[in-house]
Amino acid sequence: MNEIKNPKVFISYSWSSPQHEQWVLSLAEQLVSSGVDVILDKWDLKEGYDAIVFMEKMVTDSEINKVIIVSDRVYAQKADNRKGGVGTETQIISKEIYEKVEQNKFVVIITEKNEKGEPYLPVYYKSRIYIDLSEPDNYSENFERLLRWIFDKPLYKKPEIGKASSFLSNDQQLSLETTAQLKIAIDAIKSGKSYSKGFLDDYFEKFSQNLEKFRIKKYEGEFDDAIIKNIEAFLPYRDEVINIISIIAKYDPKEEYIKSIHRFFESLIPYMFNPSTNTSYHDWDFDNFRFIIHELFLYAIAILVKSEQYHHASTLINQHYYIFELSYYRSDVMRSFTVFHQYMRSLENRNQRLKLNRLSLRADLIRERCQKIGVEFRYLMQADFILYIRSMITPENQYVEWWPETLVFLRHYLGPFEIFARAESKKYFEKIKCLFEIESPNEFKELLEEYRQNRRYLPHWQYQSFNPAYLLNIEKLATLP
């Protein structure tokens, strides 16, 4: 994948009011989070600097890729009357616009309209196309337009003759269609807005719908190579979901948000299986989705457990998932969380084809991708173990259990997992028992013994296995006040 460079952008605006300044600052922060190097007076115009020289350099400097003009009523009036700093910038900007053939360096975004619904625009810009960020209903769509303009990646771009497929592939590399909605949802959650759940549901819905774009239909070379490239391309989207679940767990872990997360995962399940309209397929055609969705679910549990939101984690673990119009399960439309772990034949074939001799390529990928995301790998292992134990206690059948992929790296982990070490305290045990729907450590012991007697073997990789009782700290649970 070609690395996308971070464009440098200057924002010109008027200090119309504290609220407007905050709006501009929020826009700048949103752009920075989307990979844009923003130059803003509040950040870059220091004491002792010459403001006019600073403005002129920002507008004329060839290193500044784009200039955003934020126009409200005050800005338009000052620009037309050539007053203050806005007036000075207007003289510089209008000269550049009128004299330069290439006019793609400047764009106006409007934040305010008059009583007739007409945008406030400087006179020199009235004949040019602007971007409207004044309305909440179309903010997400138009923020995407702004990003595409900044990165020179328009939504509709004429491909080179004979290279249409390459064009479509390149366009997808900068598919930021959920970025603006993510920002809006996070801001609403952090601010405690009454409509925050609606924004969260909108984000999840768009995410689920757009996941179809990652379906592998055409590829060159080996299919397992296509799976790996697809999973790599999905990484920014994975990080979006991790981000918003982390925000919910930290700032406002409401029950209604957890229900939205549950329904979100429910909506992803069909991607892991053959669509009912598809009559010809291989069982590895959906392996990219099987990895992506499994990884997302593992992170969701890890984040909630790490944040000690055990009750909310138990909702995702213990509440079943409704599967709509899925031919695999028409007679069994409610499934446990174990549905999120499905076998991936493509990775097994890759291991053999490349003679990698790895115990679990899936675990390797999860570990390699666990970088700079705020959730250490040990928390993923702990979540994996929790899910394995939960499926072991009340399995759907003898063939359906949660296979704890990441525990292949257990040799690097000493002692019981953190929540079970802390559960030596009776009070702490009372907190975590909802994860397993048990009431006492003795019930835990009985269930483990029953499993040991009825199952032939524990999960293992070649000669490597583990002792569940030890990792559970079973003999010390609830032995302290």
Give tens-digit pLDDT for 231-272: 999 999 999 999 999 999 999 899 999 999 999 999 999 999
In the block, tokens 């992170």 appear at: 299
* Residue 480 confidence class, pLDDT cut points 50, 70, 90: very high
Q: What is the pLDDT of residue 51?
A: 66
**% of residues, the chain, pLDDT over 90:** 41
Q: Which residue pairs, CB below 8 angstroms and at least 24 apart, start in 184-193?
A: 184/139, 184/140, 185/244, 186/243, 186/244, 186/247, 187/26, 189/244, 189/247, 189/248, 189/251, 189/252, 189/257, 190/247, 190/251, 190/252, 192/252
SS3 107: strand
In sequence order, what DSSP letters do the residues of 413-464 get, joined into one string? --SS-HHHHHTTBHHHHHHHGGGTT-S-HHHHHHHHHHHHHH-S----BTTB
Distance CA 109, CA 114 (A): 15
The pairing of strands 334-335 and 321-322 is antiparallel
Longest dimension (CA), the chain: 86
Cα dihedral 337/338/342/348 (nearest 10): 130
339 pLDDT more than 70: yes
Distance CA 200, CA 184 (A): 9
Is CATH 3.40.50.2300 what the domain over 8-150 is classified as, yes or no?
Answer: no
pTM, two decimals, is 0.65
163 pLDDT more than 50: no
Of 12-16, 57-61, 313-317, 344-348, highest mean pLDDT: 313-317
**% of residues, the chain, pLDDT over 70:** 82
The answer to whether the Cα torsion of 190, 193, 197, 203 is positive or negative is negative
**Length of the chain, please?**
481
Distance CA 145, CA 31 (A): 12
Domain ranges of the chain: 8-150, 177-472
Task: List pLDDT tens digits, range 365-414.
Answer: 999 999 878 899 999 999 999 999 998 877 655 555 799 999 999 876 67
Contact (CB, 8 A) for 436 and 451 = no
In sequence order, what DSSP letters do the residues of 14-44 get, joined into one string? ----HHHHHHHHHHHHHHHHTT-EEE-HHHH
CA angle, 373 then 257 then 214, to 5°? 55
* Residue 173 confidence class, pLDDT cut points 50, 70, 90: low
* Average pLDDT, integer, range 123-147: 81
Q: What is the pLDDT of residue 308?
A: 96
CA angle, 332 then 336 then 337, to 5°? 140
